[in-house]
C-alpha cells in the first residue's frame, strides 16, 4: 500500500509541529501525485515556504503482526526553499520509547535515527545522503524500533521503484 494524499495531514503533522510549521500546515493544500513507481509514489505540494516534493512507501511486512499501531510510512523529502534535499524520515504508527533510537538497515548497512513522538530522522544531512545513496543501490530496507510500551517492531520495505520515484521529485523540486 502506498501513502495516499488523504492521510497527508496525519503523516506530516508531526513533522510540521517539530519544524514549527503548524500554522503553515493548516494552509497547505492536498498533495498532487506525480506518479507511482513500483512500491513507491511521488507527490508535491506548495507551502508559503515554497514547493515540497516527497516519495513515500509502506512496509511490505510488519512484525509482530498483532501490534496495535497506525499505518507506517517511509519518506524522502525535498524542500528546496529551505535547502533540504533527500531528508529521510519514518512515521512508525506508534509513539517511540522516550529518547530511543531506531535502526534503519539497507541490505546489510545499519544507520541510527533519532526519534520524536512517532517519527524518526537522520541527525545530519550527510547521513541522509548516505542512506539515500545506499537505498538507490539496495534491495531491502528494514526499520527496527521500540514503542513506549517496550514492544519491539520490525518493518520491511521494498526499494523497487525508489530510483524512478526519486528522479521524479528531483525533476519536480529543483
Which of 3-12, 95-104, 129-138, 147-156 has the lowest average pLDDT?
3-12
Q: Give per-residue pLDDT as tens, 18-74.
A: 444 444 445 557 999 999 999 999 999 999 889 999 999 999 999 888 778 889 999
Domains (ranges, CATH) in the chain?
Answer: 34-172 (2.60.40.1880)
Q: What is the pLDDT of residue 28?
A: 57
Residue that wins the pLDDT comparison between 157 and 8: 157
How confident is residue 1, by pLDDT bands cut at 50, 70 and 90? very low
Q: What is the pLDDT of residue 98?
A: 86
Q: Give per-residue pLDDT as tens, 85-134.
A: 999 999 999 999 888 999 999 999 999 999 999 999 999 999 999 999 99
Q: Taking the model in full, what pTM does it have?
A: 0.82
Q: DSSP labels for the chain?
A: ----GGGHHHHHHHHHHHTT-HHHHHHPPPPEEEEEETTEEEEEEEETTEEEEEEEE--SEEESTT------EEEEEEEGGGTEEEEEEEE-SSPBPTT-EEEEEETTEEEEEEEETTEEE-SSHHHHHHHHHHHHH-SEEEEEEEBTT--EEEEEEE-TTHHHHHHHHHHH--
Amino acid at each position: 500500500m502506498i501513502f495516499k494524499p488523504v492521510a497527508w495531514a496525519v503523516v506530516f503533522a508531526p513533522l510540521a509541529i517539530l519544524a514549527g510549521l503548524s500554522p503553515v500546515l493548516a494552509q497547505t493544500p492536498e498533495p498532487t501525485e506525480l506518479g507511482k513507481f513500483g512500491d513507491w509514489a511521488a507527490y508535491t505540494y506548495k507551502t508559503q515556504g515554497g514547493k515540497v516534493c516527497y516519495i513515500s512507501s509502506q512496509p511490505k511486512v510488519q512484525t509482530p503482526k498483532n501490534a496495535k499501531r497506525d499505518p507506517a510510512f517511509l519518506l524522502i523529502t525535498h524542500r528546496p526553499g529551505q535547502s533540504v534535499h533527500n531528508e529521510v524520515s519514518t512515521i512508525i504508527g506508534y509513539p517511540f520509547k522516550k529518547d530511543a533510537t531506531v535502526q534503519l538497515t539497507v541490505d546489510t548497512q545499519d544507520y541510527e535515527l533519532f526519534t520524536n513522538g512517532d517519527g524518526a530522522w537522520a541527525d545530519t544531512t550527510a547521513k541522509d545522503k548516505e542512506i539515500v545513496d545506499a537505498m538507490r543501490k539496495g534491495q531491502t530496507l528494514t526499520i527496527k524500533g521500540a514503542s513506549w510500551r517496550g514492544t519491539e517492531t520490525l518493518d520491511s520495505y521494498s526499494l523497487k521503484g525508489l530510483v524512478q520515484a526519486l528522479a521524479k521529485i528531483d525533476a519536480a523540486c529543483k
